[in-house]
Amino acid sequence: MYGLRVEYLQVAANKSLAGAIVPKIVERSYYGKVVIVADHPVSMLSALRKQWLRAERRVWKTRAQTLGAERIRGLSTELAYMQRLRFTAKPPSDFLEADVTIATAEHLLRIAPMCQTMLVACSLSKETLHMITSWMPRSGVVVIYGQK
């Protein structure tokens, strides 16, 4: 994982894993594709979808309460961007088609993804992590949840 920035984050006791991942997706998706490594991609997708819609509603609510025209314009742009993002739990083929791809480590070992951000939501060995991050650019970010 040479040249990558690695972050270790703990999930708060009162927060779900999907609830902790959504803010990172919002923050990092502007820089490029995001890959989430999970043991059960389909169930992770449904949990993320629920939290994503909750985040969209928060932006809507903030926009409705705002009086400044410039801030409203910024929130409208952010909301439009959030609604355009595409999520998938299908195993990737040659390249990543969606903005956010959720896959197992086994699927990612077959095709090392070219992505800017990788969020690891399951336990992986260092060798596996190194192999699936091998095609990431040097400025990429790897966020590992719940491990040290």
Q: What is the pTM of this model?
A: 0.90
Question: What CATH number does residue 111 fall under?
Answer: 3.40.50.300
Instruction: Tell me, yes or no, whether 125 lies in a domain.
Output: yes
Print the domain residue range for 127: 5-43+86-145
Instruction: Tell me, yes or no, whether 25 lies in a domain.
Output: yes
Total domains in the chain come to 1
Q: In this predicted model, what pLDDT tens digit does every residue of 47-76 receive, in sequence order? A: 999 999 999 999 999 999 999 999 999 999
List the one residue out of 93, 74, 71 whose CA is nearest residue 82: 74
When pLDDT is averaged across residues 106-113 and rounded to a whole number, the result is 88
Instruction: Tell me, yes or no, whether 132 lies in a domain.
Output: yes
Contacts of 2 (CB under 8 A, 6+ apart): 138
